[in-house]
Amino acid sequence: MSRYRGPRLRVVRRLGDLPGLTRKSARKAYPPGQHGQARKKKSEYGIRLEEKQKLRYNYGVTERQLLRYVKKARRAGGSTGQVILQQLEMRLDNTAFRLGMGPTIPAARQVVNHGHLTVNGRVVSIPSYQCRPGDVIGVRNKEASRKLVESNLEFPGLANIPAHLEFDKGKMEAKVNSVIEREWIALNINELLVVEYYSRQA
What's the pLDDT score for residue 1? 42
SS (H, E, C) 50-89: HHHHHHHHHHCCCHHHHHHHHHHHHHHCCCHHHHHHHHHH
What's the pLDDT score for residue 155? 78
Percentage above 70 pLDDT, the chain: 79
Beta strand pairing call for 117-119 and 165-168: unpaired
Task: Identify the structural domains of the chain with CATH numbers, from first to last.
Answer: 8-87+189-201 (1.10.1050.10), 91-178 (3.10.290.10)
The residue with greater pLDDT, 159 or 103, is 103
Q: By C-alpha distance, which of 85, 112, 98, 84 is closest to 19?
A: 98
pLDDT, one tens digit per residue, over 36-51 is 555 667 788 888 988 8
pLDDT, one tens digit per residue, over 91-140 is 999 999 999 898 888 899 999 999 999 999 999 999 999 999 999 999 99
Our CA dihedral for 153, 155, 157, 161, rounded to 10 degrees, sits at 50
